[in-house]
Structure 1
Amino acid sequence: MEPRRIAADTYVFEGAREHFTSANGGNILNSGFIATGDGVIVVQSGPSRRYGEEMRAAIGKVTRRPIARVFVSNLHPDYFLGSQAFADAPIAALPGTIDGIRSDGRAVTENMYRLLGDWMRGTDAGPPTEPVLGATVVQGGHRLRLMPLAGHTAADLAIFDETTGVLFAGGLVFSDRAPTTPHADIARWLLSLDELEALDIAVLVPNHGTIRTDEAAIGQTRDYLTWLDATLRASAEAGLDMNEVMAIEIPERFSVLSVLREEFTRSVAHLYPKIEQSVLPRVN
């Protein structure tokens, strides 16, 4: 793993714009760290113990300062399953994320073993140890705004470094990659994007996709989610079944998004049944 410097003291490990496969070892997210004068802030620990260990070794080549804290943005496996490599530091997350990992962490980990095989050797699901609430904290000269948001999941932590203008957007922003929706509430997600768009962003780090020096990825994510929600609702109103919805043509403007058709198909499975229930009248 090779860290890329994106701002003062700030580095990112860039992942592939793909699904989890045994070929990529689960390395599909952009994790990162801030090497402050008072210790290292880690953002996302990765999808496996092996990933976390390699990440920590790479951090050690940049700075010898200790790990001060690890932040986990949500309950999805690639955000927290590398935390064993940082067991000597506080692992911090929103209370909703901690509860979700306590509830579903074992099942999520078993699924990752099925997907990635030996890449997951020795990985266990441990919940974060420190709850995070909305606050602004100063760490070694970096002023970090911890933003408790929601929509991609029930609890999404974004971290905005007011010192450098770097936004670690977690799973709320996807850049040139189709969003994932297994725990999505699109209405809440769009409200969270409004809050992020109001920030004075110099560098935007989505957890999946291209790192940007503008806010275009927020608009891209908003456009896709708005289209997705409207399309599913119109389909339910028209009485389409799930297979018919999955075959719908996707607008050309979204062709820049990797894994587009696969994620759209998954989103239909995730979201359409509930939308159907809200639209179709009861006849009993």
Structure 2
Amino acid sequence: MAKAKLLWVLICVCWFWGAHADEAPLKAVQLADRVWFVQGQAALGSVANRNFISNAGFVVTDDGVVVVDALGSPALAKELLAEIRRITPQPVRYVIATHYHADHIYGLQAFKDAGATVLAHTEAREYLNSDTAQKRLEASRVELFPWIDDKTRLVPADRWLEEKETRLRVGSFDFVIGHVGPAHTVEDVVVYVPQLGVLFSGDLFFRGRIPYVGQADSRLWIASLNRMMQYQPKLVIPGHGPSSSEPMADMTMTRDYLLYLRKTMGEAARNLEPFEDAYARADWSAFEKMPLFRVANHMNAYNTYLLMEQQTEP
């Protein structure tokens, strides 16, 4: 009986270790004066990585902390709050959601419970109130349990932004919240802090990995990247991947990838070439070594092919 019980304990320990083997520690890294961020894994969300696949950043002012994006689960957001408290006694005043994708917003409730004010663009309300958002949450409660469970809820903004540009003053810093969507999503915003030269780009800029295009209109996305470049930031914190101290070159890479998708898939669509033939013929060598290429590129190309069937200009 004792041996059987010991065996069962060993099995449970091995299962737990295996199930959580991919967990990445959530550790805030200082990038510049007052500026910190945590970096998620370059992977799809899973139980093993706790849906820690996106980034979040924050700025410590003399009148509180401003956080950009809230991570992919309440547990992760609580860890981020603990990191912030380790760094500063200042309270979190605001959380700005760059867009309402699950890996960026499931942590909002932890910040809301801690007294923060949530800001997001008003275009996100359509998705937030849709069956799609609810069904995604229900699926996540199964696929990402226990990190996403019945207590996880969708959190609306306390302040819905409607202007093309909103300026938020906290302490001695300005936070310029620019609506640059529709691009990756219709509600995309970026956050620029001119006194620090730092730009939080959300998912408009994926450094060091293939972006997820989804149903986005890549022509509008490219236009949004061009607008982001006008800020001429010294440092960019993207929605995924490492931060960039050479943001103009890195943003150009994302733009070039989208342009290449439009060029190759646009030619195929205009010539009525079957998608799979066009995909096999395309030269992906400039991008194929990047993380998530095999996971995302085929889908990105197919969605671009469908889009280009509807658009006459590349």
TM-score (norm. length: structure 1):
0.92
- Secondary structure at the aligned position of 2:308 is classed as helix
8 Å Cα contact 2:179/2:189 also seen in 1: yes
1:102, CA displacement in angstroms?
Answer: 2.2
Q: Which moved more, 1:90-99 or 1:126-135?
A: 126-135
1:269, CA displacement in angstroms?
Answer: 4.2
* 2:173 paired with 1:142: yes
The whole-number CA distance in structure 1 between the counterparts of 2:278 and 2:81 is 44
The whole-number CA distance in structure 1 between the counterparts of 2:311 and 2:176 is 37
Aligned length in residues: 279
8 Å Cα contact 2:262/2:308 also seen in 1: no
User: Compared with structure 1, are the counterparts of its residues 105 and 23 closer, same or farther at alpha carbon in structure 2 (3 Å cutoff)?
Assistant: same
1:161-188 per-position Cα deviation (integer Å, ceiling 9, x unaligned): 1011111011111111111112311111
Determine the structure 2 residue equivalent to 1:228. 261
1:67 to 69, 92, 97: 92
Determine the structure 2 residue equivalent to 1:193. 225
Determine the structure 1 residue equivalent to 2:236. 204
2:300 to 267, 278, 282: 267
1:115-169 per-position Cα deviation (integer Å, ceiling 9, x unaligned): 4232213311122221123122221111211111011111211001101111101
The whole-number CA distance in structure 2 between the counterparts of 1:62 and 1:145 is 24
1:14 to 39, 50, 67: 39
The whole-number CA distance in structure 1 between the counterparts of 2:158 and 2:220 is 26
The whole-number CA distance in structure 2 between the counterparts of 1:146 and 1:250 is 37
The whole-number CA distance in structure 1 between the counterparts of 2:136 and 2:31 is 31
The whole-number CA distance in structure 2 between the counterparts of 1:114 and 1:275 is 35
The whole-number CA distance in structure 1 between the counterparts of 2:64 and 2:103 is 23
Superposed CA RMSD: 1.8
Q: Which moved more, 1:128-137 or 1:174-183?
A: 128-137
8 Å Cα contact 1:12/1:32 also seen in 2: yes
- Secondary structure at the aligned position of 2:146 is classed as helix
Which amino acid in structure 1 is aligned with residue 236 of structure 2?
A: L
* 2:274 paired with 1:218: no
Within 5 Å, which residues of 2 pair with 1:90-105? Answer: 90-103=117-130, 104-105=132-133
Within 5 Å, which residues of 2 pair with 1:1-284? Answer: 1-87=26-112, 88-103=115-130, 104-121=132-149, 122-132=151-161, 133=163, 134-150=165-181, 151-215=183-247, 216-277=249-310
- Secondary structure at the aligned position of 2:98 is classed as coil
Q: Percent identity?
A: 25
1:211-242 per-position Cα deviation (integer Å, ceiling 9, x unaligned): 11012211000000000111111121232334
The whole-number CA distance in structure 2 between the counterparts of 1:125 and 1:256 is 36
Q: Which moved more, 1:145-154 or 1:247-256?
A: 247-256
TM-score (norm. length: structure 2):
0.83
1:248, CA displacement in angstroms?
Answer: 4.5
The whole-number CA distance in structure 1 between the counterparts of 2:304 and 2:158 is 31
1:113, CA displacement in angstroms?
Answer: 2.9
8 Å Cα contact 2:288/2:294 also seen in 1: no
8 Å Cα contact 1:36/1:140 also seen in 2: yes
Unaligned runs of 5+ in 2: 1-25
Which amino acid in structure 1 is aligned with residue 79 of structure 2?
A: E
Unaligned runs of 5+ in 1: 280-284
